[in-house]
């Protein structure tokens, strides 16, 4: 039944962080430390206040960056360079996932709220370079983040993604709301299922899920 639901899919859209690698790698733990430090330095606030603002902006605006831009006029490029300057030593190549992605029919892209250069580094560390037709970061949506519908519209227009013939794979349930409304198949990639009307499928094992669609 699941395979049949994906028979007409020819555009495959993958989030990056905690989707194309397991959250146990804890890359976002490193990024959060960098973000808190950037907020401290930029806004001249304490670590506790910076950490509070980081979470507040994520909940209110979709990303910490969006909050800093909208409320403080922060330049996004230095921020993105700084917060993604992290170690990828905990990432390992995943030949099974690579084969599963390679065997999918049609167009395959990565779309992340991070930056495209950072995404390329992660993909290389995971052995997934060369498998995607495009890599899109928040900069390709004029720094508007997922889950904003306008961000998806802009990136998908750039990439030529036809939503009714597309599937979205994402760890953050919020970021599947717009794809579902656009007519995409939505797959939540996480250890724990999240029950919501806009989430059609769930998997703990992305490679196996994709392999079963081939």
The residue out of 62, 83, 104 marking a domain boundary is 83
Kindly report the CATH number assigned to the domain that includes residue 103: 3.40.50.1000
Same domain, 115 and 14: yes
Predicted pLDDT of residue 148: 96
Tokens of 81: 């360079």
Q: Phi/psi at 162 (nearest 5 deg)? A: -95, 110
C-alpha to C-alpha distance for 180 and 197, rounded to whole angstroms = 9
The residue out of 83, 112, 128 marking a domain boundary is 83
Same domain, 46 and 63: yes
Same domain, 58 and 162: no
Same domain, 141 and 197: yes
Q: CA of 25: how far to CAs of 12, 22, 53, 91, 128, in Å?
A: 24, 6, 25, 6, 16
Same domain, 157 and 104: yes
User: How does DSSP classify residue 145?
Assistant: P
The residue out of 83, 107, 129 marking a domain boundary is 83
Same domain, 51 and 33: yes
> What domain range is 96 assigned to?
2-21+91-211
Same domain, 36 and 51: yes
Which of 6, 62, 76 minimizes the C-alpha distance to 178? 62
pLDDT per residue, tens digit, the chain (214 aa), is: 699 999 999 999 999 999 999 999 999 999 999 999 999 999 999 999 999 999 999 999 989 999 999 999 999 999 999 999 999 999 999 999 999 999 999 999 999 999 999 999 999 999 999 999 999 999 999 999 999 999 999 999 999 999 999 999 999 999 999 999 999 999 999 999 999 999 999 999 999 999 999 7
Same domain, 109 and 135: yes
Same domain, 50 and 98: no
Q: What is the dihedral of CA 120, 23, 127, 133, to 10 degrees?
A: -50
Longest Cα–Cα distance in the chain: 55
Three-state DSSP state, 112: coil
Predicted pLDDT of residue 1: 66
Same domain, 72 and 114: no
Task: Provide the number of structural domains found in the chain.
Answer: 2
Same domain, 57 and 141: no
Kindly report the CATH number assigned to the domain that includes residue 51: 1.10.150.450
Predicted pLDDT of residue 214: 76
Look at the alpha carbons of 52, 53, 58, 63 in this order and tell me if their dihedral is positive or negative.
negative
Same domain, 198 and 115: yes
């Amino acid at each position: 039944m699941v395979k049949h639901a994906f028979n007409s899919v020819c555009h495959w859209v993958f989030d990056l962080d905690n989707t194309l690698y397991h959250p146990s790698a804890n890359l976002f733990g490193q990024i959060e430390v960098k973000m808190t430090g950037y907020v401290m330095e930029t806004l001249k606030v304490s670590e506790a206040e910076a950490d509070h603002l980081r979470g507040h902006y994520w909940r209110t605006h979709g990303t910490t960056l969006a909050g800093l831009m909208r409320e403080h006029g922060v330049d996004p490029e230095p921020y993105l360079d700084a917060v993604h300057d992290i170690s990828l030593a905990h990432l390992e190549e995943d030949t099974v996932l690579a084969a599963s992605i390679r065997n999918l029919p049609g167009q395959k892209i990565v779309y992340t709220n991070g930056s495209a250069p950072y995404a390329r580094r992660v993909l290389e560390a995971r052995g997934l370079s060369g498998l995607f037709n495009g890599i899109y970061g928040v900069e390709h949506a004029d720094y508007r983040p997922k889950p904003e519908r306008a961000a998806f519209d802009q990136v998908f227009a750039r990439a030529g993604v036809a939503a009714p013939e597309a599937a979205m794979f994402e760890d953050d349930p919020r970021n599947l709301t717009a794809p579902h409304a656009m007519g995409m198949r939505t797959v939540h990639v996480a250890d724990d299922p999240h029950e919501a009307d806009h989430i059609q499928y769930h998997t703990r094992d992305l490679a196996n899920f994709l392999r079963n669609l081939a």
